[in-house]
Structure 1
């Protein structure tokens, strides 16, 4: 199929499109969600499917009841959906996890040798290896130089695994996976990819690219129901100690010893998240059913519109490499003279626009870029031209006349003062609290003199 011509509308329907939120001046507006990279909204079809699953929900794998067998079939069929979605090899194994972080924790426990990674990784693909004492290679000023450095490092001292991001959660830049796979394989290493930001935005083909392991999260892939996945070569996962000891991961138990099942059951102890897995599988099928090129074209159009609009305001998006092969649907930037947290608070309080600010669980990368914190706008299948234009209009107003409300910073970040917005009635209607628990740790405090 050929891709349809670009329209200003959403590519697929998502839940919450018509949500309305309060503003600090007492008004109300449609919520503009430009925070897809943190957690994407559920596809409408995924939410509908979850309702169907809940009506037939039962425990899986060990039940003779009809609904138990239905849910077992549903759960195992989800592996086939993931296998197809990522172009996995016939002998690859799909292990369901909680999210990308969990998947990398599993892979780190199963990797039978040293790993090499770059210092640009999200903490999900940095901290498990750092804890093991594996090698972290500093990225170079260009992608070409970085790949040369990676090859030189593997030539100097071989490793079992190279692990990289498929698309940066800070800059959106993609990495050339077939090239990196070739480098790794030439030196006897396997390649693992953090696909959290890649899977929602670009087709993935493990067999075609040579990627050995891939991890991604349902909550990034329009299925925010608590499931993630690790997919890849079976042998390491079959040989590894069970990731979680418990029922369902065994073939036989005595008081003296346990015989563990092979993967995937080996690493899926306990009652699994059937609903989350079903949602993830449905999202994979919905995205795979889009016309060829439609998703890439949709995001490219929105991203170019945003980048061009920012340039007109004198704002330059953050970028790691001048020679990177394109980017997915997210843009991070800073506004001269205004702290990132204050920009995000202003966009929310005065315009009803949701973005992300901070260090994005990628501290070394932010340090490399030389910024203490940034603002990130991200979008996907539910985003529209109107969403991008509303952000650009709000940033233009900030540049032209500043904020129209007072803001203050504390350890929880920036917030309007006074905060007039309240929680929705279904959550008690109490005043909106500024309390947060950033994954980044303490919020960077603005230097003296910055308003």
Structure 2
């Protein structure tokens, strides 16, 4: 179970934000996570409990997931083609992981489920198998932007649509682009990693299909927060990472219609992807015969524990239930938003004026303070972890008027209201000028 949060040194009552002075009821963690009792050093010379508000970068492993993966280590061996008992056990566990993931995202029975290194790798695989042009928004994480913009077959296939001030106008712009010239694919994020705003995936899928295109959804920031259904939402391809969904080890997944997977050359050439290899090179030889299905694009020894951890995380999230997850995030989000609104100089980031849904992410700036300075202050003085920079979404930050970056607080199943309150207290002290900790921007820090 989670240990009781360890309080950091509090600002004096005069600088505590009004949101905290009018303290709301305590909101407990939704589920135990690994590292919930971590202690970190602060400038005052002692250690405090770590307030992890950087879930959007990498969520801590759920304790139940870590326990299952630790158990799997006792029966760990090489997958596929091994006759030994542990190889058979591991192979069954690896292949069962595909079915667990498919069930969690409500995939079609004939969809290919390919394990990758992460979402970036999954989208690069999607680039590899996709024929024709791709329409993409300018608000995307670089993982769902740069791979499409790289030349393929001697030309740039990406057609970048500038997001409008509203979701409705953005949908109109996307439809106009798809109608102007045929495209094979619309590639969109499900939830912004900068602001947490959720896009209407079902409507986007309908627009794409109406114009003869398929849709790929980058669900890295959605699967741990909202239910998603490949079938019900009309999704053709779905990509996400385990490390943003409470799964340890580096692994991701690309799920989707098998015809493009089978028509493309293998993503990597090597063992496991081949059905037969013949080097004679004469007219009686067919040369290399590649597998179809997921194996075609999973050459080499796979990250078995990564795949198992994703599956266990999916099962754990399903057990928690979307209603409980949604309510927990709603309560924490309302508390955070209300507190930020009462702190002078805090300016929240928002892409669309008509967005109505947001996962547990809040991007913001503070007047007079560089983002890096804010993040360093929160860490060194209060033991709070947030993200700063441009969040691998440089075009979006520039469009929002913050080319130097911003601060991002993000939360999830292991977050309590104490974590949110500590952040608000610390920001309140910084804004009010009652702290002497005002670190300078580290110019060498990568955005």
> Residue 376 of structure 1 aligns to a residue in which SS?
strand
Q: 2:310 matched to which residue of 1?
A: 280
> Residue 186 of structure 2 aligns to a residue in which SS?
strand
Q: Is the 8 A contact 1:46 1:282 kept in 2?
A: yes
Q: Does 1:312 align with 2:323?
A: no
With the length of structure 1 as denominator, give the TM-score of the two structures: 0.89
Q: Does 1:11 align with 2:30?
A: yes
List runs of 5+ in structure 2 lacking aligned partners. 1-24, 282-286
Q: Does 1:366 align with 2:400?
A: no
With the length of structure 2 as denominator, give the TM-score of the two structures: 0.90
RMSD of equivalent CA atoms = 1.2
Q: 2:330 matched to which residue of 1?
A: 300
Q: 1:332 matched to which residue of 2?
A: 363
Q: 2:60 matched to which residue of 1?
A: 41
Q: Is the 8 A contact 2:370 2:441 kept in 1?
A: no
Task: Name which of structure 1's ranges 347-356 and 367-376 shifts more when overlaid on structure 2.
Answer: 367-376
Q: Is the 8 A contact 1:98 1:226 kept in 2?
A: yes
Q: Does 1:221 align with 2:251?
A: no
Equivalent pairs counted in the alignment come to 410
Give the deviation of 1:89 after TM superposition. 1.1
CA distance in 2, matches of 1:169, 1:409: 23
Give the deviation of 1:325 after TM superposition. 3.3
Give the deviation of 1:402 after TM superposition. 4.8
Give the deviation of 1:317 after TM superposition. 1.4
Q: Write the deviation string for residues 247-293 of structure 1: whole angstroms up to 9, x where unpaired.
A: 00010011242111012000000000001111110000000112451
Q: Does 1:169 align with 2:193?
A: yes
Q: 1:432 matched to which residue of 2?
A: none
> Residue 150 of structure 2 aligns to a residue in which SS?
helix
CA distance in 2, matches of 1:196, 1:307: 23
> Residue 57 of structure 1 aligns to a residue in which SS?
coil
Q: 1:62 matched to which residue of 2?
A: 81
Q: Is the 8 A contact 1:39 1:224 kept in 2?
A: no
CA distance in 1, matches of 2:130, 2:299: 20
Q: Is the 8 A contact 2:66 2:248 kept in 1?
A: no
Give the deviation of 1:170 after TM superposition. 0.1
Q: Write the deviation string for residues 121-175 of structure 1: whole angstroms up to 9, x where unpaired.
A: 0000001001132111111111111100111111111200000000000010000
Q: 2:48 matched to which residue of 1?
A: 29
Which ranges of 4 or more aligned residues in structure 1 deviate by more than 6 Å? none
CA distance in 2, matches of 1:79, 1:380: 25
Q: Does 1:350 align with 2:369?
A: no
Q: 1:146 matched to which residue of 2?
A: 170
Q: 2:296 matched to which residue of 1?
A: 266
Q: Is the 8 A contact 1:176 1:325 kept in 2?
A: no
Q: Is the 8 A contact 1:83 1:94 kept in 2?
A: yes
List runs of 5+ in structure 1 lacking aligned partners. 1-5, 414-437, 441-451
CA distance in 1, matches of 2:393, 2:442: 22
CA distance in 2, matches of 1:147, 1:291: 30
Q: 1:430 matched to which residue of 2?
A: none
